[in-house]
Structure 1
Amino acid sequence: MISALDDTLLALADPTRRRIFEVLFAGESSVAEVATAIGAEQDELSNHVVILEEAGLITRRRQGNGEFIAADPTPLEVAAEWINTNRELWAMRSQIEETGPAPASPQ
């Protein structure tokens, strides 16, 4: 689980890769269309596409001379679970710091 989380967070740490992923929310697109949408050259996207694909955030397929990519949000579930768990733990910690620790129960 940690490896999948690391891969997802590292892939989305780069603003260009986040933008690619956001463009793909609309559906599958050719690499050329994505390049145009984000204002980049297709060659620039190559490394980003590989990283997103290795993290499981996109799928890639070839059709004729074109290459098409699509978003796969499944790895976001692992990241969201980790974020939500830690957010809840921090909220509990904040509450304890504000109110003080609960009194010890008599033994």
Structure 2
Amino acid sequence: MVERLDATFHALADPTRRGMLASLALGEKSIGELAQPYAMSFAGASKHVQVLERAGLVTRRKAGRAQLCRLEAGPLAEAEQWLRQWEQFWNLRLDALEALLRDHKETER
């Protein structure tokens, strides 16, 4: 799971790939359609799609001459679960710090 999580965060680190995922959340798109908002070549868009594929975030299929991409949300759910664990960790720590500061202020009075 760690390698897949690393691949997911690597893929999400690029704003173009995040935009492509947002576009795919609305439905299947060709690589050309994914490239269009970024004024990039098919080859450039294809490289971004390959990174998304390696992370398991996208699947690609051929439909005639077009290569259609579809969002696969499973890795995003795994990343969210990992982030929620850290959110709980930090919330506990910050709550303890807040209580400590509150107690300190009350003893100063």
The whole-number CA distance in structure 1 between the counterparts of 2:34 and 2:28 is 10
State the identity %: 37
SS of the residue corresponding to residue 70 of structure 2 reads strand
The alpha-carbon deviation at position 39 of structure 1 amounts to 3.0
Kept in 2: contact 1:58–1:70 (CA 8 A): yes
**What does 1:1-107 correspond to in 2, within 5 Å?**
1-100=1-100
Aligned to 1:103: none
Alignment TM-score, normalising by the size of structure 2: 0.86
Amino acid at match of 2:34: V
* CA deviation vs aligned residue, 1:21-80 (integer Å, no higher than 9, x gap): 111111111111111234322121121110100100000001211111011111011100
Alignment TM-score, normalising by the size of structure 1: 0.87
CA RMSD between the two structures: 1.1
The whole-number CA distance in structure 2 between the counterparts of 1:35 and 1:47 is 11
Kept in 2: contact 1:20–1:38 (CA 8 A): no
SS of the residue corresponding to residue 25 of structure 2 reads helix
The whole-number CA distance in structure 2 between the counterparts of 1:98 and 1:46 is 48
Length, aligned pairs only:
100
Amino acid at match of 1:51: V
Q: Which has the higher helix share?
A: 2
Kept in 1: contact 2:31–2:68 (CA 8 A): yes
SS of the residue corresponding to residue 69 of structure 1 reads strand
| Structure 1 unaligned blocks of 5 or more | 101-107
Kept in 2: contact 1:61–1:69 (CA 8 A): yes
